[in-house]
Chain A
Amino acid sequence: MFNINFLKPDRSNLNTFLYLGSFLFFISILDVFLNSFFKLNLTGFLPNFLSFLLPLVLGFVGLYFIRIEYSGIKNLDLLNKHINTNNFNAVLSLLIIFIIIKSMPPILSWFVIDASFAGDTKDVCTGSGACWTYIKVWMRRFMYGMYPNAEQWRINLSFVALVLLGSVGYFATDKFKKYLTLYYVVIYPLIAFLFIFFFISGGPVFFDFSYGIIAAILSIIIGFFIPSKFKFYYFLIVPLALYVILKYFLFFEEYIELGKLDGLNWVETGAWGGLSLTFIISFFCLIFCFPIGMAFALGRRSEFPLIRYISVGFIEFWRGVPLITVLFMSAVMFPMFLPEDFFIDKLVRAIIAISLFEAAYVAEVIRGGLQALPRGQYEAAKSLGMGYWKMHIFVILPQALKLVIPGIANTFLALVKDTPLIFVVGLLEIVGMLNLAKTNPKWLGFAMEGYVFAAIIFWIICYAMSKYSYNLEQKYKTDR
């Protein structure tokens, strides 16, 4: 028997094949590269069809020549192992390389080279590329919606304050963190909600509450210096006391008049919009849907049949309908269910609707975690004499929640991605603002730029969230 070996490389004639193969491979890539970047067609003399296929054929033959099981040359072996394991893979790899090279020039020229950045009218956008001027001019609208320009510092300040309030936990000591749970579950959502709503919408209501905020922030700051022994009692008494002092003894209405602080104009929620509204809605729904979802997850695993049926009904109902119909319901049906003179703002209605909707998903995720815990955990907790709540708070939930971090993160991601749907109730967050800007007669024809811009922003937010959840998952991973 003899092997036909003249087309197959092996150790003995490796060099010939290596040079020939890499030359062919190089030629094929060079051909595509020149073709796409410089509009040069090296193989223009050939018939159209052949000229189109030639790089693929050349590259394929080249890759075939350099495919060898083990050559001892590090780079070659890496190449063979990763993109050149067999004929099929070689063709696919070549196709992907060609697609990447081919798509580079149009994308680059649209995004950067032919794009216009300068100026602030439509006239500068004459090139074939993107018109980033449009984004630049409309930036404030995309970020803040119809919120008056002069008042936008209120939104910025609220977000800064929220971040500061939220980051209390990061600086707290381990002993202190126990009490922080209370803060995060009960006090923080309340503060955040009222703060954002009353501060951003403005008006006198804000000042009734601003004492509370100042009291809370002051007491937290002082709280760092209180010995941990007294911390619990400190947080029980001091914030309230501070609030009373501030309201009745320290700040008088006259001071506010003096400081012109009362001049905050009322901005109705219909004017809120843009990316800041996306954040506001996702933030509150995220805060509210978690406890509701947890309650229904526990309810679904309750040993009382009636509570169980109610929870199952709730969860399955919300999971079975699309969010858009839920928002429809909140817009047209819900006002019918309330007393006539009782009015809930449409933004609050939307937040309630989305929170309930996402709560059902959170409930299912948490239920998964509860089910995944071995029975031994329940039995051990019970045998220590713990009651239902003690058992769940100290033994079951910490473990179950740890297990379902990826699931919860996915639900929250879905929530952020669902916020554009509030266009149904007439609120315009960033996607809605884009649709509005697109129809402005002065700026027709820039739909693509707007959507690409929003897509990039959402992509960054969502990708960062998923990476963060992955890190969290790794951090809390415990072997069981």
Chain B
Amino acid sequence: MNFKLKDIVPQLITVIAVVLVFGFFTYNAQINMENRGIDFGYGFLSQESSFDVQFSLIEYDGSHSYFRAYLVGLLNTILVSVIGIIIATILGVIVGIARLSPNYLINKFAAFYVEFFRNIPLLLQIFFWYFAALRALPLPQDAEAMFGVFFLTIKGLYVPAFIWQNFNIFFYSIIAAIIAIIVIRAHAKKVQENQGKQIPVFLISIGLIFILPLLSFLIGGVRLSFEVPVLKQLATTSFIYEGGVSLPPELIALTLSLSLYTATFIAECVRAGIQGVGKGQKEAAASIGLTPNQVLKLVIMPQALRIIIPPTTNQYLNLTKNSSLAAAIAYPDLVLVFAGTALMQTGKAIEIVSITMFTYLTLSISISILMNWYNKKIAIQEK
């Protein structure tokens, strides 16, 4: 009996403390809201929002609901995170490998990059790119074309837009190519395990991913044309580019700083992962006659990935959460659109902040579930 009491008492005290604190907060919140005449509820989400957002992926204006404004912000957050994650991964892997290069200059250059960008606050970097570096760009009328079609101006980056005909056929052809590649890889693995023959999977894959979409152009009636941005004069001194796709400078500054910053951490993860693979593994692989490429692909990388994935997942999560700094330079992400403008208009502090936090929690948890699944897939299968 005595033994049981010892188990229960600390738990009971903790739970009572937590419940008391929460109860206290809720009680106060109720009283405060009553006094100020605010009622609690999520009904405002379907009301007309009556504010505009500069940049959105879906159709949106003031006549749409608050929920749609929320979606606009969420999609913008996801856009920045996805672009940032892709660039940061590519850059991080390159720098991480460069950190291990036997070449002294490359090694030091990569180390300099990592130490430099890692030790400066992200917010400062975002401000630097947005307020200092991108402001030095030319006005639209003075901009010189890069490769004849890109225009990098102070008002953003203008790129040509793709105009597709029968886009769905093209899309299906790519999906077909991907499925075919997966099937062929599985088949090749089987053949290798059973008969010891190697099928040039890589060449076949490259062929497939080019040939099938090409066929869709020739047979399926897919047409692609480009719409190049053209300079247009609005007033005597005001110019703008029309046509094409325009990426706002906020987006550029944000993705640039997020990926440059996060890449340094990913680079360190990659370096630690590759260093974590024993030297004996490389030597053993070389001694059974594998080429350096094969050593990297078949022996080092599969083992290094196991070390690299978990900390890199954390970096992806950090990047996604850091994308909320967008609010500081007025890129219309979730925090700015919803926790900023919408909160100002409705005054529903508790509801809006809780929705925002819940959204980020969901994003973080879904990324970590995805990466955990991948991590399990490549982990050592102990029998």
What residues on B are CB-neighbors of A340 within 8 Å? 28, 31-32, 35
**Nearest neighbor of B115 in chain A, beta-carbon distance:** A463
**Nearest neighbor of A82 in chain B, beta-carbon distance:** B104
Beyond A306-B15, A336-B32, whether A89 also contacts B106 by CB under 8 A is yes
Residue B55 lies at the interface, judged by CB distance under 8 Å to chain A: no
Interchain CA distance A463-B125 in the complex, whole Å: 16
Interchain CA distance A417-B7 in the complex, whole Å: 42
Residue A165 lies at the interface, judged by CB distance under 8 Å to chain B: no
Interchain CA distance A435-B132 in the complex, whole Å: 11
Residue A451 lies at the interface, judged by CB distance under 8 Å to chain B: yes
**Nearest neighbor of A314 in chain B, beta-carbon distance:** B18
Interfacial residues of chain A within 63-103, with CB under 8 A of chain B in the complex: 81-83, 85, 89, 92-93, 96-97
Are A332 and B105 neighbours in the complex by a CB distance under 8 Å? no
Say which residue of A306, A322, A458 sits within 8 Å of B124 (CB atoms): A458
A-B contact pairs, 17 of them (CB 8 A): A82-B102, A82-B104, A89-B103, A92-B106, A97-B105, A306-B14, A306-B15, A325-B339, A325-B353, A328-B339, A333-B349, A418-B121, A438-B131, A452-B128, A455-B120, A458-B119, A458-B124
Are A337 and B15 neighbours in the complex by a CB distance under 8 Å? no
Are B103 and A304 neighbours in the complex by a CB distance under 8 Å? no
Q: What string of 1s and 0s marks CB contacts (under 8 Å) between A327-371 and chain B?
A: 011001101111110000000000000000000000000000000
**Nearest neighbor of B25 in chain A, beta-carbon distance:** A337
Interchain CA distance A325-B338 in the complex, whole Å: 11
- The segment from B160-168, B172-180, B356-364, B374-382 found at the interface with A is B356-364
Are B116 and A459 neighbours in the complex by a CB distance under 8 Å? yes
9 closest Cβ contacts across the A-B interface? A462-B119, A82-B104, A322-B321, A337-B25, A320-B361, A322-B324, A417-B121, A448-B132, A306-B11
Are B103 and A447 neighbours in the complex by a CB distance under 8 Å? no
Residue A192 lies at the interface, judged by CB distance under 8 Å to chain B: no
Beyond A339-B28, A431-B124, A458-B121, whether A324 also contacts B324 by CB under 8 A is yes
Interchain CA distance A305-B105 in the complex, whole Å: 54
Are A317 and B120 neighbours in the complex by a CB distance under 8 Å? no
**Nearest neighbor of B116 in chain A, beta-carbon distance:** A459
Are B120 and A310 neighbours in the complex by a CB distance under 8 Å? no
Are A324 and B353 neighbours in the complex by a CB distance under 8 Å? no
Say which residue of B7, B322, B324 sits within 8 Å of A304 (CB atoms): B7
Are A304 and B10 neighbours in the complex by a CB distance under 8 Å? yes
Interchain CA distance A227-B355 in the complex, whole Å: 60
Interchain CA distance A346-B335 in the complex, whole Å: 20
Q: Separation in Å of the A85 CB from the closest CB of chain B?
A: 6
Residue B45 lies at the interface, judged by CB distance under 8 Å to chain A: no
Residue A394 lies at the interface, judged by CB distance under 8 Å to chain B: no
What residues on A are CB-neighbors of B115 within 8 Å? 463
Are A447 and B15 neighbours in the complex by a CB distance under 8 Å? no
Say which residue of B15, B127, B133, B350 sits within 8 Å of A431 (CB atoms): B127
Say which residue of B15, B18, B325, B360 sits within 8 Å of A320 (CB atoms): B360
What residues on B are CB-neighbors of A463 within 8 Å? 115, 119
What residues on A are CB-neighbors of B122 within 8 Å? 417
Beyond A325-B357, A447-B135, A462-B119, whether A307 also contacts B103 by CB under 8 A is no
Beyond A328-B339, A451-B131, whether A336 also contacts B29 by CB under 8 A is yes
Q: Separation in Å of the A82 CB from the closest CB of chain B?
A: 4
Residue A420 lies at the interface, judged by CB distance under 8 Å to chain B: yes
Interfacial residues of chain B within 248-304, with CB under 8 A of chain A in the complex: none
User: Considering residues B15, B123, B133, B354, which has the most beta carbons from chain A within 10 angstroms of its beta carbon?
Assistant: B123
Interfacial residues of chain A within 311-326, with CB under 8 A of chain B in the complex: 317, 319-325
Are B121 and A420 neighbours in the complex by a CB distance under 8 Å? yes
What residues on B are CB-neighbors of A179 within 8 Å? none
Interfacial residues of chain A within 391-418, with CB under 8 A of chain B in the complex: 413, 416-418
Interchain CA distance A328-B335 in the complex, whole Å: 9
Are B128 and A451 neighbours in the complex by a CB distance under 8 Å? yes
Binding site for B on A (CB under 8 A): 81-83, 85, 89, 92-93, 96-97, 304-307, 310, 317, 319-325, 328-329, 332-333, 335-340, 413, 416-421, 423-424, 431, 434-435, 438, 447-448, 451-452, 454-455, 458-459, 462-463, 466
Q: Separation in Å of the A56 CB from the closest CB of chain B?
A: 15
Interchain CA distance A320-B363 in the complex, whole Å: 8
Interchain CA distance A315-B339 in the complex, whole Å: 23
Interchain CA distance A455-B132 in the complex, whole Å: 13
What residues on A are CB-neighbors of B58 within 8 Å? none
Say which residue of B103, B324, B353 sits within 8 Å of A92 (CB atoms): B103
Are B328 and A423 neighbours in the complex by a CB distance under 8 Å? yes
Interchain CA distance A454-B132 in the complex, whole Å: 13
Beyond A321-B357, A455-B124, whether A332 also contacts B15 by CB under 8 A is no
Q: Separation in Å of the A330 CB from the closest CB of chain B?
A: 10
Q: Separation in Å of the B341 CB from the closest CB of chain A?
A: 13
**CB < 8 Å A-B pair total:** 153
Say which residue of A321, A424, A438, A466 sits within 8 Å of B360 (CB atoms): A321
**Nearest neighbor of A317 in chain B, beta-carbon distance:** B361
Are A85 and B102 neighbours in the complex by a CB distance under 8 Å? yes
Residue B343 lies at the interface, judged by CB distance under 8 Å to chain A: yes
Interchain CA distance A436-B24 in the complex, whole Å: 39
Q: Separation in Å of the A146 CB from the closest CB of chain B?
A: 20
What residues on B are CB-neighbors of A424 within 8 Å? 327
Q: Separation in Å of the B261 CB from the closest CB of chain A?
A: 10
Beyond A322-B321, A438-B131, A447-B131, whether A332 also contacts B349 by CB under 8 A is yes
Residue B210 lies at the interface, judged by CB distance under 8 Å to chain A: no
What residues on A are CB-neighbors of B127 within 8 Å? 431, 434-435, 447, 451
What residues on A are CB-neighbors of B132 within 8 Å? 447-448, 451
**Nearest neighbor of B347 in chain A, beta-carbon distance:** A332
What residues on B are CB-neighbors of A93 within 8 Å? 103, 105-106
Interchain CA distance A420-B125 in the complex, whole Å: 11
Are A329 and B11 neighbours in the complex by a CB distance under 8 Å? no
Residue B226 lies at the interface, judged by CB distance under 8 Å to chain A: no
Interchain CA distance A349-B79 in the complex, whole Å: 32
Are B353 and A329 neighbours in the complex by a CB distance under 8 Å? yes
Q: Separation in Å of the A192 CB from the closest CB of chain B?
A: 24
Residue B373 lies at the interface, judged by CB distance under 8 Å to chain A: no
What residues on A are CB-neighbors of B10 within 8 Å? 304, 307
Say which residue of B32, B106, B322, B364 sits within 8 Å of A96 (CB atoms): B106
Are A304 and B119 neighbours in the complex by a CB distance under 8 Å? no
What residues on A are CB-neighbors of B11 within 8 Å? 304-307
Are B325 and A421 neighbours in the complex by a CB distance under 8 Å? yes
What residues on A are CB-neighbors of B343 within 8 Å? 332
Q: What string of 1s and 0s marks CB contacts (under 8 Å) between B8-21 and chain A?
A: 00110011001000
What residues on A are CB-neighbors of B361 within 8 Å? 317, 320-321
Are A324 and B121 neighbours in the complex by a CB distance under 8 Å? no
Q: Separation in Å of the B276 CB from the closest CB of chain A?
A: 15
Residue B90 lies at the interface, judged by CB distance under 8 Å to chain A: no
Interchain CA distance A337-B119 in the complex, whole Å: 36
Interchain CA distance A423-B35 in the complex, whole Å: 29
Interchain CA distance A306-B323 in the complex, whole Å: 34
Residue B231 lies at the interface, judged by CB distance under 8 Å to chain A: no
Interchain CA distance A418-B322 in the complex, whole Å: 10
Residue B109 lies at the interface, judged by CB distance under 8 Å to chain A: yes
Q: Separation in Å of the B103 CB from the closest CB of chain A?
A: 5
User: Considering residues B35, B101, B119, B128, which has the most beta carbons from chain A within 10 angstroms of its beta carbon?
Assistant: B119
Are A83 and B104 neighbours in the complex by a CB distance under 8 Å? yes
Are B28 and A336 neighbours in the complex by a CB distance under 8 Å? yes
Interchain CA distance A18-B119 in the complex, whole Å: 43
Are A325 and B103 neighbours in the complex by a CB distance under 8 Å? no
Are B124 and A310 neighbours in the complex by a CB distance under 8 Å? no
Interchain CA distance A302-B306 in the complex, whole Å: 29
Q: What string of 1s and 0s marks CB contacts (under 8 Å) between B134-153 and chain A?
A: 01100000000000000000
